[in-house]
Amino acid sequence: MKKIWENDIISGYCTPGTGKTRLGRILAVKLSLKYINIGDFARENECFIEYDSDLDCHIIDEKLMASKMKKVLDTCDKGIIIDHHDCEIFPKDMFKYIFCLTTSNEVLYDRLVESIHQVTNIINVD
């Protein structure tokens, strides 16, 4: 009998700081799913085009990452939670479930200030 989440791919599609990483990790443990953080995956698989010194971050090579991610998905025998803030870099039919977490701008701003060293990354938060 198939488990409810077996071979399903779930994505957290949310603004950074809304809790998708925390929730994704909790769900992965509780439901015995594989958890993939796209930033970590891109670093481990060298999926970067360049480094943006103004934003203090790497620019992901989306085609290369999607290609390497497909190999992982094709060989995975259990459900997967993919943690990233932008689902649009993946094919539309890749995910069975997509969750979007939200929070107030005030809470989000405070979280981002705590976690990001370069405040210039926080823009348009009124």
User: Diameter of the chain by CA atoms?
Assistant: 51
Give a yes or no: residue 4 inside a domain. Answer: no
In a domain, 87, yes or no: yes
pTM for this predicted structure: 0.75
Q: Which domain covers residue 97, as residue numbers?
A: 9-121
What's the whole-number mean pLDDT along residues 92-105? 80
Total domains in the chain come to 1
Q: What is the CATH number of the domain that holds 36?
A: 3.40.50.300
pLDDT in tens, 27-83: 999 988 889 998 899 999 999 999 988 877 889 898 898 889 888 888 888 888 888
